[in-house]
Amino acid sequence: MKYLSLLFLCGCLGIKLVDHKYEDVFIVIQKTVGEDPTLIQKIKETFTLASKLLFTATNNRVYFGKISIIIPKEWTTVTNTTSIPSIQLKNYIMIDEGKIKNPFVKSTECGKEGIFLYLPPSFLMEKSDTAYGRKEKVIVHEWGQLRWGLFSEYHPSPDKKFYLDEGRWKPTVCTDQIQGQIGKGPVCLSAKVCDPTRSSVTMSEMCSFCPHLQQTANASIMGYQYIPSVNFFCDKDDPSVPAWQRHNKKAPTKQNLLCNGKSAWEVMREHSDFRTGSTLPEQTKTEPIFEVLQETSPIRVFVLDTSGSMSTDDRIGNLHRAGAYIINRVLEENSWLGVVCFTDHARITADMTHIISDSEKKNLVASLPTSADGGTCIGCGIHRAIEMLKTMPRKTAENAEIILMSDGEDQNNQMLTDASREAIESKVVIHTVSISQQADPRMISLARDTGGKHYTYLDKGDISFSAIFSQVITISATDMTSKPETVLFKSVDEQSFNINFNVTLETGMNTTISVLTKLRNSVNLTLEITGQSVMRYQSFYGTSLTYQIPETFKAGQYQVIVTSSRVTSWEYTVSSLQSGSNQIMTTTRLSKTTMDFTNAGRDMPVVYADVTKGFAPVTNVEVVAFVEGTDNVLCNITLRDNGQEPDIAVDDGTYSAFILPSCMASKRLNLRVEVFGREGQAGVQKKLTGAIAIEEPEVEYEVLKESFQRFSIPEPLFVKNLPADLDLPPGRITDLSVVDIKTRKSQNGESRNFTIAWTATGNDMNVGQATSYDIRIAEDIDTIMYNFTMAEKFSLNNDTFVPKPSGTPEAIRISVNADESYTGTAFLGIVAVDKNNNTGQVSNVVSILVAKGFRIEVEEVKNYTIGMFNNTVEDETDIVDEHVSSSAFNTALTNSIVLISACVHACVHFGKM
Ligand SMILES: *[C@@H]1O[C@H](CO)[C@@H](O)[C@H](O)[C@H]1NC(C)=O
Ligand SMILES: *[C@@H]1O[C@H](CO)[C@@H](O)[C@H](O)[C@H]1NC(C)=O
Ligand SMILES: *[C@@H]1O[C@H](CO)[C@@H](O)[C@H](O)[C@H]1NC(C)=O
Ligand SMILES: *[C@@H]1O[C@H](CO)[C@@H](O)[C@H](O)[C@H]1NC(C)=O
Ligand SMILES: *[C@@H]1O[C@H](CO)[C@@H](O)[C@H](O)[C@H]1NC(C)=O
Ligand SMILES: *[C@@H]1O[C@H](CO)[C@@H](O)[C@H](O)[C@H]1NC(C)=O
Ligand SMILES: *[C@@H]1O[C@H](CO)[C@@H](O)[C@H](O)[C@H]1NC(C)=O
């Protein structure tokens, strides 16, 4: 069978580059922002300036062509707008009034598009310069991250503000041309403790680098964009590039860590935006065209398969009950819905209906199918739906959504091909749900090609049909926090069962419980609250019941006890809705939806869960993904927000984990992600790193007083060509750092001990326990980064230094002895190795100081714990030049020492300065 994908242009609404101009750039103003027409003016001013800067910063290559500003339904005073139904955007700019007050981008990977750029209205409303410098610089900085997958080029955390090079501490910046002052605190007061030449101890975290505002450095926008003279991106460190633009791959920036030492331009040149390399004349007019769109209600058509196979396992009954649940509980008031049913031909069972009261809902539910018979012509259904949309309500299908559900193989290939083309041409979005594994594979490409989502419902498993159905109901673009969140769902086969959940003060009465059952049945439902004598009792005869916690109910632990007259299939959902930016939301996604082992290399799929309150990250949450195959739960995976691979940044509210082949024993996998935030432990962080501020504010953290729970489902993962015996290599270590330096005068010269710490990775990516470490050193950073096996190896004794289980802190102590002053630099990297000698990728690189003709010894620091070397020098009087090693340190060491005298030849070039 031929696949449709790539035949046509994708109809999805994401940023595109057309003829050097960015089109389909959407700026969505959230409902949380108070109505303010001047905000629109400010957006226009800012993005007009940003367009010009984008053009010059990219050497006259790209700029903003058309920008669409979407305003909320509720805004009334902005005129000259065009209406647009609620749409699903792919990558966009969001303006939100929430807890976060600084611009940031939700990133994915180096070189890949981010998810969205967040701007608070206060930033745009600022009269001239902001705390982050000129607004257009900040926009171009964030654009680099959103569009090209660049990362920031300042220090990612306080312990990475400086690094050792050429005998001193250097600030973490992209080019060495940036002038500034080093000192204590955020404004760099001069302080002895911050002397960068004091390489005999680690630099205190109190010390900062404050670039001068008046200077001539031109790069990098990804670093200190607030310096007025900085207007360009860094390029490769090569004589062909002017010195002011040369990338500094030694600095411990996020860009270097995640893009493997590449400069901004090296990443950009690989992006399709810059493939042609052609430039425009300097005088090109770069003013973007703006349009203001006002969001209106979503317009949807259910296109439902009623072919014979839908009677198997009561799929048609499931569809009917879940459809009724969606119509009654999930669809918004004021939205539009039509229903088309198809077999080998299609018919409309409900015309486009504007849902304004319960009576429309009732009629729509009555139009859902109850019986199934005949063949399958998916194309017939799609064609009929588009026809209907073209008459009602807007006379166009553009931006309307078709929700297609089918369980069978399509029998009219030509009709489906034609309908796909028609859908793409009319810009309708098709979301597809395959009911069972047998569904036509073209269901997937249909969704991909039209910018829709695809889900699969597996007859077996814990994931309920209504939970899957809810996933394809798009959230309002301007009101993303107002969708009810799923607290709990499950499908069970029982006569009676309990549902346990908490009702919190914040969610209160906006908690509903829906119970659906297969057979018409006599059911008793009892609601109890632990510790309180309140009990509600309800009985019904039928197949579904939805119950809303009444206003008079109290916060507490609830239990619903369901008893019925017979064993049957059930599914239930508990959902809750909080007001606006107080809503705790979970969205889940996969780094890819197909894992084909024939060409995937080492790139295992990653599952991400964003847990936020409004858009502020919620940290210290337990997140577990249960991977369901066709027949059973295959495994569970813990997602972490700790900055270790594959996680991009610590405490940003995005939890992530690899999905490993051991969980892939099925061709289609569904993931059920469960999120649990414990009271007194989970908290909301009110800052996320974006463009750096002239004076970085303190991060505020609010501990949550109530526990919460959320369930979410990402799109399914398709597995192809899974090999029988695949041994994955160990993961990459990403947090190598120098945690301590001790210096002592020796008989002939000096002796320095560097303690280098990291977090252990596993034997299969970051799972398990590696067998050994390959630790190497080189005078040249390129050798360590790109030619690791050519670097000098430390012969650590494997018997005494066994890597610890993944996630455990590890450390080595390197003692360097020399007769001369320490002015050279040596770079160090680590690779984890498994029992089959598979090697992981080279870790991030750290530098230490060495001297000409140094002798070096390496040993494990046993029982290393984080914070063991607390180097925060609180007072200048604490500084003693010759540190004497502490007793705790001495007892922690072993005797596995190897002398590397061979290094002498490698060190001859050291000692400039
Ligand atoms: C209204 O929009 C149209 C087209 O988008 C534009 O040509 C016209 O100038 C706008 N009018 C005002 C008053 O902004
Ligand atoms: C429901 O409760 C009523 C009253 O207690 C009882 O008579 C009936 O048997 C119960 N039905 C089921 C299915 O448990
Ligand atoms: C309940 O939901 C409504 C919107 O449906 C919202 O206005 C209200 O604030 C919510 N109540 C609470 C306690 O969050
Ligand atoms: C996850 O799987 C492990 C076995 O691999 C099991 O011991 C553990 O109980 C599971 N966790 C949950 C929450 O089901
Ligand atoms: C419910 O609340 C209790 C008491 O506050 C807490 O211990 C429990 O973890 C909570 N459970 C959930 C699922 O939120
Ligand atoms: C470095 O460590 C070694 C081995 O524990 C110890 O003998 C030496 O005194 C230490 N040197 C310094 C400068 O602390
Ligand atoms: C790696 O080492 C080889 C042999 O010394 C050399 O030819 C090559 O240029 C090096 N590659 C890089 C990226 O440094």
pLDDT (tens digit per residue) in 550-563: 777 778 888 999 99
Cα separation of 210 and 161, whole Å?
11
Those residues whose C-beta lies under 8 Å from the C-beta of residue 499, and which sit 6 or more positions away, are: 488, 490, 513, 559, 560, 562, 572, 574
Residue 357 CA to ligand 5 centre (angstroms):
36
The response to whether residue 707 sits with its C-beta less than 6 Å from ligand 5 reads yes
Q: Is 27 helix (H, G, I), strand (E, B) or coil?
A: strand
Those residues whose C-beta lies under 8 Å from the C-beta of residue 299, and which sit 6 or more positions away, are: 85, 335, 336, 352, 389, 393, 394, 399, 400, 401
> How many residues are given for the chain?
913
Cα separation of 485 and 473, whole Å?
12
Q: Does an H or E element contain 443, and which?
A: helix 442-450
The answer to whether 550 touches 534, Cβ cutoff 8 Å, is no
Q: Which has the minimum average pLDDT: 118-132, 378-392, 432-446?
A: 432-446
pLDDT band at 601 (very low <50, low <70, confident <90, very high): low
Residue 90's identity, in one-letter code, is K
**What is the chain's Cα-based Rg?**
30
For β-strands 104-106 and 162-165, DSSP reports them as: unpaired
Whether the per-residue pLDDT at 35 is higher than 70: the answer is yes
Whether the per-residue pLDDT at 379 is higher than 80: the answer is yes
Whether the per-residue pLDDT at 669 is higher than 60: the answer is yes
Residue 617 CA to ligand 5 centre (angstroms):
21
Cα separation of 151 and 525, whole Å?
53
Cα separation of 38 and 124, whole Å?
10
Cα separation of 709 and 707, whole Å?
7
The answer to whether 651 touches 104, Cβ cutoff 8 Å, is no
Residue 549 CA to ligand 2 centre (angstroms):
22
Identify the residue with better confidence: 500 or 441: 500
pLDDT band at 913 (very low <50, low <70, confident <90, very high): very low
- For residue 757, list its beta bridge partners: 737, 811
C-alpha dist (Å) from residue 805 to 104, 647, 799, 836: 34, 18, 16, 17
For CA atoms 764, 767, 771, 777, give the dihedral sign: positive
- In this structure, the residue with its CA closest to atom 6 of ligand 5 is 707
Cα separation of 586 and 562, whole Å?
28
- In this structure, the residue with its CA closest to atom 3 of ligand 5 is 557
- How far is C-alpha 521 from the geometric centre of its chain's CA atoms? 44
Q: Does an H or E element contain 516, and which?
A: strand 511-529
Cα separation of 557 and 530, whole Å?
6
Q: Which ligand is nearest to the CA of 539?
A: 2
Q: Which has the minimum average pLDDT: 494-508, 710-724, 788-802?
A: 788-802
- In this structure, the residue with its CA closest to atom 8 of ligand 3 is 579
From 489, 502, 506, the mutation candidate for ligand 5 (largest count of ligand atoms within 8 A of CB) is: 502
- For residue 23, list its beta bridge partners: 16
Nearest ligand 3 atom to the CA of 509 is 13
Residue 788 CA to ligand 1 centre (angstroms):
60
Those residues whose C-beta lies under 8 Å from the C-beta of residue 501, and which sit 6 or more positions away, are: 487, 488, 511, 557, 558, 574, 709
From 523, 524, 568, the mutation candidate for ligand 2 (largest count of ligand atoms within 8 A of CB) is: 524
- In this structure, the residue with its CA closest to atom 8 of ligand 5 is 707
Residue 77 CA to ligand 1 centre (angstroms):
15
CA angle 838, 793, 260 (to 5 degrees): 65
Whether the per-residue pLDDT at 266 is higher than 70: the answer is yes
| DSSP single-letter state for residue 235 | B
Residue 496 CA to ligand 2 centre (angstroms):
12
List pLDDT tens digits, range 827-885: 999 999 999 999 999 999 999 988 877 788 888 888 899 888 875 554 444 344 433 33
List pLDDT tens digits, range 461-479: 788 888 899 989 988 899 9
- Take residue 168 and report the two structure tokens written for it: 């001193």
Cα separation of 342 and 360, whole Å?
22
For β-strands 299-305 and 401-406, DSSP reports them as: parallel
Options 1.10.3720.10, 2.60.120.380, 3.30.70.20, 3.30.160.270; CATH for 485-576 is 2.60.120.380
- In this structure, the residue with its CA closest to atom 5 of ligand 1 is 291
Cα separation of 460 and 446, whole Å?
25
Nearest ligand 6 atom to the CA of 752 is 13
Those residues whose C-beta lies under 8 Å from the C-beta of residue 867, and which sit 6 or more positions away, are: none
For β-strands 346-354 and 336-342, DSSP reports them as: antiparallel
Residue 578 CA to ligand 3 centre (angstroms):
5
- In this structure, the residue with its CA closest to atom 6 of ligand 1 is 80
- What is the per-residue pLDDT for 895? 28
- In this structure, the residue with its CA closest to atom 10 of ligand 7 is 787
Residue 557 CA to ligand 5 centre (angstroms):
7
Residue with token string 């180097």: 871
pLDDT band at 77 (very low <50, low <70, confident <90, very high): confident
What is the average pLDDT value for the chain, to the nearest integer?
A: 88
* Cα dihedral 221/223/229/232 (nearest 10): -30
Q: Which ligand is nearest to the CA of 506?
A: 3
Percentage of residues of the chain with pLDDT beyond 70: 92
Whether the per-residue pLDDT at 740 is higher than 50: the answer is yes
Residue 623 CA to ligand 4 centre (angstroms):
13
- What is the per-residue pLDDT for 507? 64
- In this structure, the residue with its CA closest to atom 3 of ligand 7 is 787
Q: Which residue from 256, 276, 58, 53 is spatially nearest to 150, judged by alpha carbons?
A: 256
- For residue 658, list its beta bridge partners: 606
Q: Which ligand is nearest to the CA of 785?
A: 7
- What is the per-residue pLDDT for 882? 39
- In this structure, the residue with its CA closest to atom 2 of ligand 7 is 787
- For 214, counting Cβ atoms within 10 Å of its Cβ (0-12 exposed, 13-18 middle, 19+ buried), the class is exposed
Those residues whose C-beta lies under 8 Å from the C-beta of residue 76, and which sit 6 or more positions away, are: 35
Q: Which ligand is nearest to the CA of 892?
A: 6
- In this structure, the residue with its CA closest to atom 9 of ligand 7 is 787
- What is the per-residue pLDDT for 871? 56
Whether the per-residue pLDDT at 1 is higher than 70: the answer is no
Q: Which ligand is nearest to the CA of 82?
A: 1
The answer to whether 641 touches 691, Cβ cutoff 8 Å, is no
Nearest ligand 4 atom to the CA of 624 is 13
Cα separation of 649 and 360, whole Å?
47
C-alpha dist (Å) from residue 161 to 203, 204, 216, 270, 690: 9, 10, 22, 29, 16
For CA atoms 466, 467, 470, 471, give the dihedral sign: negative
From 41, 66, 67, 80, the mutation candidate for ligand 1 (largest count of ligand atoms within 8 A of CB) is: 80
For CA atoms 368, 374, 380, 384, give the dihedral sign: negative
Whether the per-residue pLDDT at 894 is higher than 80: the answer is no
The answer to whether 66 touches 23, Cβ cutoff 8 Å, is yes
- In this structure, the residue with its CA closest to atom 1 of ligand 5 is 502
List pLDDT tens digits, range 216-227: 999 999 999 999
Those residues whose C-beta lies under 8 Å from the C-beta of residue 551, and which sit 6 or more positions away, are: 508, 509
- What is the per-residue pLDDT for 3? 33
The answer to whether 301 touches 400, Cβ cutoff 8 Å, is yes
Q: Which residue from 455, 512, 511, 448 is spatially nearest to 713, judged by alpha carbons?
A: 455
Whether the per-residue pLDDT at 730 is higher than 80: the answer is yes
Identify the residue with better confidence: 750 or 799: 750
- Take residue 563 and report the two structure tokens written for it: 């008893």
- Take residue 551 and report the two structure tokens written for it: 């206003």
- How far is C-alpha 39 from the geometric centre of its chain's CA atoms? 28
CATH topology of domain 308-474: Rossmann fold (3.40.50)
Mean pLDDT value of segment 55-74: 96
Residue 160 CA to ligand 6 centre (angstroms):
25
pLDDT band at 696 (very low <50, low <70, confident <90, very high): confident
- What is the per-residue pLDDT for 905? 29
Nearest ligand 7 atom to the CA of 780 is 14
From 462, 622, 636, the mutation candidate for ligand 4 (largest count of ligand atoms within 8 A of CB) is: 636
Nearest ligand 5 atom to the CA of 679 is 5
Residue 734 CA to ligand 7 centre (angstroms):
23
- Take residue 738 and report the two structure tokens written for it: 């120098």
Whether the per-residue pLDDT at 188 is higher than 80: the answer is yes
Residue 608 CA to ligand 4 centre (angstroms):
19
Percentage of residues of the chain with pLDDT beyond 90: 62
Instruction: State the SS3 of 749-760.
Output: CEEEEEEEEEEC
The stretches of 698-837 forming alpha helices (DSSP H) are: 781-786
pLDDT band at 906 (very low <50, low <70, confident <90, very high): very low
Whether this model's pTM surpasses 0.85 = yes
The response to whether residue 291 sits with its C-beta less than 6 Å from ligand 1 reads yes
| DSSP single-letter state for residue 651 | T
- Take residue 498 and report the two structure tokens written for it: 């309990």
- What is the per-residue pLDDT for 100? 92
Residue 889 CA to ligand 6 centre (angstroms):
9
Nearest ligand 7 atom to the CA of 790 is 2
Q: Does an H or E element contain 468, and which?
A: helix 465-471
Residue 507 CA to ligand 3 centre (angstroms):
8
Cα separation of 414 and 606, whole Å?
36
| DSSP single-letter state for residue 330 | I
Neighbours of 176 (CB within 10 A): 17
- Take residue 728 and report the two structure tokens written for it: 């994955």
pLDDT band at 724 (very low <50, low <70, confident <90, very high): confident
Neighbour-count burial for 859-870, b at 16+ CB within 10 Å, e otherwise: bbbeebeeebbe
pLDDT band at 12 (very low <50, low <70, confident <90, very high): low
Q: Which residue from 404, 350, 338 is spatially nearest to 377, judged by alpha carbons?
A: 404
Mean pLDDT value of segment 38-44: 96
Cα separation of 176 and 250, whole Å?
11
Spell out which residues line ligand 4, taking CB within 6 angstroms.
624, 636
- Take residue 628 and report the two structure tokens written for it: 């369901």
Mean pLDDT value of segment 422-429: 94
Q: Which ligand is nearest to the CA of 488?
A: 5
CATH class belonging to 584-720: mainly beta
- What is the per-residue pLDDT for 879? 41
Whether the per-residue pLDDT at 901 is higher than 70: the answer is no
| DSSP single-letter state for residue 530 | T
Instruction: State the SS3 of 375-438.
Output: CCCHHHHHHHHHHHHCCCCCCCCCCCEEEEEECCCCCCHHHHHHHHHHHHHCCCEEEEEEECCC
- What is the per-residue pLDDT for 687? 84
- In this structure, the residue with its CA closest to atom 13 of ligand 1 is 80
C-alpha dist (Å) from residue 902 to 753, 815, 851: 19, 16, 14
Whether the per-residue pLDDT at 797 is higher than 80: the answer is no
